[in-house]
Structures are given as C-alpha cells and as structure tokens.
Chain A
Amino acid sequence: MRVTQGCFSFLPELTDEQISRQVQYCLGKGWAVNIEFTDDPHPRNNFWEMWGLPMFDLRDAAGVMMELTECRKVYGDRYIRMSAFDSSHGWESQRLSFIVNRPKQEPGFRLERHEVNGRNIRYTTTSYAVDRPEGTRYGDR
C-alpha cells in the first residue's frame, strides 16, 4: 500500500529535476530544507531521523540534491522526505514536506481491533514492515 503523506504524494514519483525545482522554491522563500528518513511509515510517526544538520543559508538546490544523493546511497531502501522549515517570526515551523524516496515494497498496514469493556472496540494500525527489527525492514525478503 502506497504511503501518502506530505505534499505531492498522490502524484507520480517526482523526478530529480522536479525535486530540485521544489527545493529551489523553498530556498527562494528563505526556508531551510532538511532531509529526513525512516523505516517506520506509521502515520503518527512524526519525527523521522535527520540526515545531517538542517541546511540553513543555502542559495541553490544543487547543495540539497548532493545530500539527497548521499542519503539515498545509504538509506535508499527507506522512506526519505524533504521538509522545509520557515524560521521567520510568527511561523517558526515546518511549511512543506514531501516524500522523495520510498521502499520498493510497501507492505501496508493491518488493523487490530481490541474489544474492551462493554462491546466497545479500540482500533490500532500497525505497519507490517515493523514486524521486523529496525534497519532490516525493507531489505530483501
């Protein structure tokens, strides 16, 4: 099941050229672009691992793309996203985020129903991927 979170996730995968143009848009707005990765695609997993430091003071997308290439070399089997942080007063938060890399196989989520007091049901979603330990979730099966 294709994970859809952040911008553009209902579109076909962005090409590197398109990613670069989006990054340039962010830089043009004065946002700092970060690269983050994870192998836990749960929608409530907000805090992904950061690849390096947030990239403040860049002028051109080529610098970000250089880091993305590096990150793909190491974590090419996981989800990688770009997030753009706006440090200006009043915002001081993330303005844009989109996925730029995803695993070949996305096994999707299972729904667990817990029957609790009375006939009430509580629902939990769990990614099939997290059945395996961290770091080996998207390797060859």
Chain B
Amino acid sequence: MNLQSSSSSIPRSAGETPPVEQVDLRREFAEVGIGEVLDQLDGELIGLKPVKTRIREIASLLLIERIRKRMNLTSGVPTLHMSFTGNPGTGKTTVALRIASILHKLGFVRRGQVVSVTRDELVGQYIGHTAPKTKEILKKAMGGVLFIDEAYYLHRPDNERDYGQEAIEILLQVMESQREDLVVILAGYGDRMDKFFASNPGFRSRIAHHIDFPDYSEDELLAIAELMLCDMNYRFSSDARQAFIRYIGLRKSQPLFSNARSIRNALDRMRLRQANRLVADLDRVLTADDIMSLEAPDVLASRVFSKNSSG
C-alpha cells in the first residue's frame, strides 16, 4: 500500500514538466522581481494614484497569466498596447519607461528596450518613403516597447493625402499581427488624443489600456520639486520653501502651466539665480551648505511674482 502510493508519485516528480498544481504566490512574486519595480514606482513618482493603481492591476494580471501558463491553462497573450493621456508634464514618458521594465521582468516583452519616437521618425517626406521608415522603427522596437509621443500628429485631418495615414495603417497591422513581439504605447494630451481616436477607430479598439494622467496638486508639485532638488544635491532653505509654495500657487493659475516640467524649469532658473548671487560676492568663503541651499531671494526674483504685483 505504502509502496504503491510512493511509486505513483515518483514518475510524476521525475517527469518532464507536469503542469504545476500549486503555486506559492509570494515566492512567485519575489522571483519575478516586480515588487521592486512597483515600489520604485511608488517612491519615485509622486501622486498619479489612478496610474499606479492601473499599473498594479496590469502587473497582477501578468503575474497570474504567467502562473496560468505554467498550469497549462491556456489563454491568449493579453493585449498590452496602451494609451497615456494627460496634460503636459504629468509623467507619461517616465511611466512608459517603467512599464517597459515591468513587462520585461514579467517576460511579456523579450528585450525590454524602449524606442521613443514622434511623427518625424515614422512619417516620410515623399511617396514611398513612409513605409520603410515606419518599418525600420518597428523592427528596432521588436521585443520591446514602442513609445509614440504626441501620437495625434500622425493623423492630419486637414490633409487627406498626408503620409501619416500610411504609417497608421502599418502600425495597426503590426499591432494586431505581432502582439507578442512588441507593445505600442501612444501618448498625448487628452482632448487631442480623443479626436485622434475618433478619426481612427481601429486604434481605439486595438488598445486595451487607456490610462489618464491627472494633474498634480500643489502639495504633490512641492514634493516633486524637493525630490528633483535632492537628486541635484540642492535644498530649499525654510524661507525659500515657503516662497516656493507661493510660487506654485501663482504659477498654476497662469497659462501654459505644464506640471512637473514647469517645476523643473523653475528650479533650473533658481539655480542660475543662486549661482549669480554667490558669484556676486567674490570675497566670501563658501561652505558646502551655502552652495547647496536655495534661498528665498532666488525664488522671489521670479517673474511670476512681479507679474502678479504689477498686474
């Protein structure tokens, strides 16, 4: 009796690869190493709650999909093409880069490179120029992620002979027929992407994940600024910090505000002013602390404040 049961279990474990029946989810999770990527995403990207939730969902789905494959529960390769919509500077490109590494760790793209292109690199200048150009980019992106920034430029509704349409057709064809070879991510500003999808329904239906990037709140913008400064080995003095909070409030209400990108530019200008302030007094002995800290005058010299007071 005893012998029988043990002998029946032996060929099973010694066989080639029988379908797994039990899976330790925690071990599986750790093995794949997406935990770190997701934590990194949480730590380094501030705000973007809906985006992070969606990425977690996708990551979980892919993890389960991997396990299902090992259990011989076949299901087709999930469609992973995505579209990122949101205002300027909300982190679409940054997230695209992270997505590529998540997909790579989970084994849904083989190489994990990101090829980032815009209209210029896909659409040619004369008849017969577009197809080879688009194909060349597609070939480079095979096994990785093709990130098309400002994708709505591909379609020019005012010019029906525009070569963009040809690029769109090739893209659609490859997105459908080589789903397991590459993932296409389209990105652009919300309203214009809606128009783009409206005129190219084929795209909308071939993209499974539409992710909307919300604007940052003022607190999040401050946190972003401090993270950026920390990366550049700078810091705000407490006065400067207060001034910068006021700066964000004012800048946000002005036109052409592009979230994190505006913050980055503001910080760059503040660094210029700080350097100028330090150089102005050549007799002074500088400490590391002086060089690292941005003071209130560096912030307050911004045009944003003067405009507000004058007008």
Contacts and interface: CB of A to CB of B under 8 A. Distances in A.
Interface of A: 52-53, 55, 57-64, 66-67
A59 B181 contact: no
Contacts of B119: none
Contacts of B135: 66-67
Given A60-B110, A62-B182, A66-B178, 8 more contacts: A52-B132, A57-B140, A59-B111, A59-B113, A62-B142, A66-B138, A67-B135, A67-B139
**Contact-residue bracket for chain B:** 10 to 19
**Interface residues of B, dominant DSSP:** loop
Among B110, B139, B144, max chain A CB count under 10 A is at B139
Contact of A58 (B110, B132, B140): B140
B143 interface: yes
B132 A62 contact: no
B144 A63 contact: no
A62 B144 contact: no
Contacts of A60: 110-111, 142-144, 181
A59 B114 CA distance: 11
10 contacts: A52-B132, A53-B132, A59-B143, A60-B110, A60-B143, A60-B181, A61-B143, A62-B142, A62-B178, A66-B178
A59 B138 CA distance: 11
B140 A62 contact: no
Interface of B: 110-111, 113, 132, 135-136, 138-140, 142-144, 174, 178, 181-182
Top 10 A-B pairs, shortest CB-CB distance: A60-B143, A63-B139, A63-B142, A62-B142, A62-B181, A60-B142, A59-B111, A59-B113, A60-B111, A59-B143
Contacts of B136: 53, 55
Contacts of B139: 55, 58, 63-64, 66-67
Nearest to B177: A66
B23 to A, nearest CB: 29
A71 to B, nearest CB: 12
A33 B50 CA distance: 42
A23 to B, nearest CB: 11
Contacts of B178: 62, 66
A57 B144 CA distance: 13
Contact of A66 (B110, B111, B132, B142): B142
B111 A63 contact: no
Nearest to A60: B143
A67 B132 CA distance: 11
A66 B142 CA distance: 10
Contacts of A66: 135, 138-139, 142, 174, 178
A126 B174 CA distance: 43
B64 to A, nearest CB: 25
